[in-house]
């Protein structure tokens, strides 16, 4: 009695078939983005590990995920592309199968809540994408059901293989392949959930207190006090005019007679020094509350 199952294909044969299929696509000018797996952990960075951990958290997927890991490690996912809300992939099994995965957009209310909880804790986009965040922020972003990662109810998929299971091994391979891809391009997670990573960074200063009032009027030095401190009588605005008169006097000897001559230059210097001393004392009293 036959149930229509295709004959078993060894790992080595499946790998050779995957390589031949990829070569044919490239010969036709098609661009492929294969997922390259290996021994050890499927994903190695924060975002890739977090994605895989989220998948393994749900009992809905527990029976089929292990076969998916094997397919990723064997190089059976010859093409995987992530766009807004969807993943398109080709996986080599007994034959070459097309896999499509749809991921719902992160609900606006949920995304806003994530941003509010992380406000002031994410300083840069580089820090966010590299996963160099505080433990509290990471836990908030990865929180089941209310974090950034999708729950089973937000994921739908289909595969062209004849497997009747809710999730075939080819779909499982693609879901793990997303984790591998996030190791290389973590920004794809935000594209997949249709949110802007920069929204979180834009809230970096949201938690910082902002000044609501300026300095008291009594704490500002007015022009007359500045004049006393520096002994210049705040006459800088008239300085260009004075220089112009002096220049004219040099060019025209007759104009020299019109220039004002100080009656007692020594007295002027003494007055300026005295004003400077008084001004400095006033500033000192203002700064130190009248103490010497």
Long-range contacts of 81-85 (CB under 8 A, 24+ apart): 81/33, 82/178, 82/181, 82/185, 82/188, 82/191, 82/192, 83/191, 83/192, 84/191, 84/192, 84/194, 85/192, 85/193, 85/194
pLDDT for 90 equals: 95
How far is it, in rounded angstroms, from Cα 149 to Cα 34?
Answer: 23
pLDDT for 219 equals: 43
- CB atoms under 10 Å from CB of 193, counted, come to 21
Long-range contacts of 266-274 (CB under 8 A, 24+ apart): 272/231, 273/231
What is the per-residue pLDDT across 51-104, written as a single tens digit (0 to 9) for each? 999 999 887 777 778 889 989 988 899 999 999 999 999 998 888 999 999 999
Minimum mean pLDDT range among 140-144, 221-225, 273-277: 221-225
- State the pLDDT confidence band at 185, using cuts at 50, 70 and 90: very high
**CB neighbour list of residue 262: distance below 8 Å, 6 or more residues apart:** 268
How far is it, in rounded angstroms, from Cα 238 to Cα 230?
Answer: 16
Residue 79 gets which letter from DSSP? E
- CA separation, residue 159 to residues 103, 216, 278, 283 (Å): 15, 71, 89, 81
H/E stretch holding 169: helix 169-184
Expressed in angstroms, the distance from the first to the final Cα of the chain is: 107
3-class DSSP assignment, residue 246: helix
What is the per-residue pLDDT across 241-279, written as a single tens digit (0 to 9) for each? 555 555 555 556 565 555 555 555 555 455 544 554 565
pLDDT for 53 equals: 92
Q: Is the pLDDT of residue 189 over 90?
A: yes
| Domain residue limits, the chain | 11-202, 217-288
pLDDT for 253 equals: 58
Q: Is the pLDDT of residue 163 over 50?
A: yes
Q: Please report, to the nearest 10 degrees, the dihedral formed by the alpha carbons of residues 168, 171, 176, 179 taken in order.
A: -160
Phi, psi (degrees; rounded to nearest 5) at 90: -130, 130
The whole-chain average pLDDT of the chain stands at 76
How far is it, in rounded angstroms, from Cα 229 to Cα 227?
Answer: 5
Q: Is the pLDDT of residue 231 over 60?
A: no
């Amino acid at each position: 009695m036959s149930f229509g199952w295709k004959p078993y294909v060894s790992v080595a044969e499946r790998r050779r078939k995957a390589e031949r299929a990829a070569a044919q696509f490239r010969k036709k000018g098609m661009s492929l983005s294969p997922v390259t797996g290996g021994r050890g952990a499927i994903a190695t960075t924060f975002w890739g590990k977090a994605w895989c951990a989220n998948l393994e958290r749900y009992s809905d997927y527990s029976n089929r995920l292990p076969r998916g890991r094997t397919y990723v490690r064997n190089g059976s996912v010859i093409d995987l592309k992530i766009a807004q809300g969807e993943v398109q992939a080709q996986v080599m099994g007994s034959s070459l199968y097309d896999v499509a995965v749809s991921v719902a957009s992160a609900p606006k209310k949920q995304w806003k809540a994530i941003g509010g909880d992380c406000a002031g804790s994410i300083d840069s986009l580089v820090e966010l994408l590299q996963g160099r965040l505080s433990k509290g922020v990471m836990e908030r972003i990865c929180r089941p059901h209310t974090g950034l990662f999708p729950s089973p109810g937000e994921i739908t998929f289909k595969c062209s293989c004849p497997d009747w299971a809710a999730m075939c091994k080819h779909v499982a391979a693609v879901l793990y392949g997303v984790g591998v891809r996030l190791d290389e391009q973590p920004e794809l997670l935000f594209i997949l959930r249709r949110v802007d990573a920069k929204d979180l960074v834009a809230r970096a200063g949201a938690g910082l207190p902002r000044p609501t009032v300026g300095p008291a009027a009594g704490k500002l030095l007015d022009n007359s006090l500045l004049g006393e401190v520096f002994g210049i009588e705040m006459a800088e605005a008239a300085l260009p005019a004075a220089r112009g008169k002096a220049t004219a006097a040099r060019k025209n000897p007759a104009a020299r007679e019109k220039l004002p001559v100080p009656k007692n230059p020594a007295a002027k210097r003494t007055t300026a020094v005295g004003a400077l001393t008084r001004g400095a004392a006033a500033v000192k009293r203002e700064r130190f509350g009248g103490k010497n």
